[in-house]
Amino acid sequence: MKNNMRVQLIIISFFFSIAIAAQSTIPKVLKLLNKESVPYVMVDALNETDKFVFLDARELNEYNVSHIKNAVFIGYDHFENEKVTTIIKDKNTPIVVYCSIGVRSENIGEKLQKLGYTKVFNLYGGIFEYKNKGRKVVNNQNKQTDSVHTFNKKWSKYLTKGKKIYEN
């Protein structure tokens, strides 16, 4: 029985990855994968005077390559509620969560909403769109960089500006 479930899961994952690979734009992928349960904020709507706390919902190796300046690493696979509640005490603080294009960040945004945060936004297009729009990112030494971790070669097609870094 367990083997049948594993085989079914592998088949479903295979078709899911084909469906994603067939999507040619960030908007198409977001439409396919997101529920829009966390309101989007567009890159163009952000300015230097906004008082958002940026939370990076990617993995540490992605964050270390580059992230939005002053963003707090919270991760995805090992996300911990306590880390966020320790850093952001006021539940009315405006928060922008981001990942590569906005899928993982929606999931984390939902968790933040369940924790009682009232002003949670998902960065539409994630760090890829941020960089594609000419915004600056920094590395783990807080130095400006053109590199962005794109997870893998398939996902790298959504980054149109900057140096693509990925494993596999």
* CA-to-CA dists, residue 51 to 14, 21, 47, 93, angstroms: 41, 36, 9, 9
Tell me if residue 99 is catalytic.
Answer: yes
CB neighbour burial string for 17-41, b if at least 16 within 10 angstroms, e if fewer: eeeeeebeebeebbeebbeeebebb
**Which residue of the set 38, 43, 57, 99 is catalytic?**
99
Answer for the pair 53, 46: CB distance below 8 angstroms, yes or no.
Answer: no
List active site positions. Answer: 99
